[in-house]
Homo-oligomer: A and B are copies of this chain.
Amino acid sequence: MASIKDVAAEAGVSVATVSRALNGHPSVSPAARARVLAAVETLGYRPNAVARSLRTHQTRTLGLVISDVLNPYFAELARSVEEEARALGYSVIIGNADERPDLQDHHVATLLDRRIDGLLVSPTDGGSPGMLDAVRAGTPMVFVDRWLPGVDVPVVRSDGRKAVRDLVAHLHALGHRRLAIIAGPAATTTGRERVDAFREALGAYGLPLPDAYIGQGDFQAGSGRRVTEGFLALPEPPEVVFAADNLMALGALDAIRARGLRVPDDIALAAFDDIRWFVHTDPPITAIAQSTGELGRAAVRALVDRIGGRPGESVTLPARLVPRRSCGEPDPARSPSPVRRSTP
């Protein structure tokens, strides 16, 4: 592979001039520039980004540590992050933490070793040691979706509080009174907040959220299944199950189906995070949608600001309720009949 030396020889100039010509430095004569460009062309020269990075102390690479690319929510987040990063001249390396602090640390360490310019993370837990070290070391960082309270890093996330209130209002209007939630890990902010918001919203209607109606999940389908089985085995099962993410909703659907029950007739289901398949599930699933793409883009912008020495803006975007048929409401597209209530 041709190096800058080869180009210099071919063009009859020094490597310094080649470097300047290629980097748009003003003080290069048109003649020299032309010769360099011609040499680059004939040799098919591509600058070695590794060497450049070593010299300039920047890699133009961002790290993104998320918990699960198989989760459509994170896949969409990753995609928008990559798009915005590319638009700003950065590449991104994605690390899949799989909700495991040790894996999260592995990725953070690897990314830091590779000297990425900045780190976007959706922390898996209360903050793995390596991640906290990275913050302390002054690595430009921003939290996206999930964050660590008390850590001085900009956070870009959704606030689902209002949407959860809307959801509970919707459920209450449909006559539901016994509402349960499949929560995410308590160590994650999204795990805690969604339960808190749900409890608070229920409180406004004088409804309790008993411990038996709070199932501990891990944002994966398997836990949604197990928790839902537990709910269904209760002497007084809930009328509604609210899954704190889309994968746990999938697991809940599995469990409900395995029991031979039907949604929403036997039990209603709602989910945090909307995905396109929810339109076509049986029945279509009521969900709380985030502006995922905008979240990813805002996070990249904040991170690039930090890298450039600017403050980096924290952003909170509202989520919104998308009511469908899984809680008992009729599908307006199919049957213009009045709202069916599961309680008379």
Residue in contact with A50 in the complex, picked from B53, B69, B110, B277, CB distance below 8 Å: B53
Give bound CA distance, A253 to B284, whole Å: 13
Give bound CA distance, A279 to B256, whole Å: 13
Give A59-90 as 1s and 0s: 1 = Cβ < 8 Å from B's Cβ atoms.
10100000001101001101100100010000
Closest residue to A106 on the B side, CB-wise?
B86
A283: interface (CB < 8 Å): yes
CB distance from A92 to the nearest CB of B (A): 8
A75 contacts B70, C-beta separation under 8 Å: yes
A283 contacts B282, C-beta separation under 8 Å: yes
| Segment among A41-49, A191-199, A233-241, A312-320 that sits at the interface with chain B | A41-49
A96 contacts B114, C-beta separation under 8 Å: no
B50 contacts A59, C-beta separation under 8 Å: yes
Q: Which residues of B contact A277 (CB under 8 A)?
A: 250, 277, 280-281
> Known: A46-B109, A53-B50. Contact between A79 and B72, CB under 8 A?
no
> Known: A72-B72, A94-B94. Contact between A113 and B48, CB under 8 A?
yes
A31: interface (CB < 8 Å): no
Other A-B contacts than A50-B114, A92-B93, 15 sampled, CB-CB below 8 A, are A1-B137, A46-B109, A48-B113, A49-B115, A50-B115, A61-B114, A69-B69, A69-B78, A72-B75, A75-B75, A260-B334, A277-B280, A277-B281, A282-B283, A282-B284
Q: Which residues of B contact A128 (CB under 8 A)?
A: none
A221: interface (CB < 8 Å): yes
A133: interface (CB < 8 Å): yes
Please list 8 pairs of residues, one from A and one from B, whose beta carbons are closer than 8 Å in the complex, sorted by A's number: A50-B59, A50-B115, A69-B69, A91-B114, A250-B276, A253-B280, A281-B281, A282-B283
Give bound CA distance, A338 to B3, whole Å: 71
A257: interface (CB < 8 Å): yes
Give bound CA distance, A87 to B197, whole Å: 40
> Known: A47-B113, A49-B115. Contact between A75 and B82, CB under 8 A?
no
Give bound CA distance, A334 to B258, whole Å: 10
Give bound CA distance, A47 to B113, whole Å: 6
A93 contacts B93, C-beta separation under 8 Å: yes
Residue in contact with A70 in the complex, picked from B76, B106, B279, CB distance below 8 Å: B76
Give bound CA distance, A256 to B206, whole Å: 43
CB distance from A85 to the nearest CB of B (A): 11
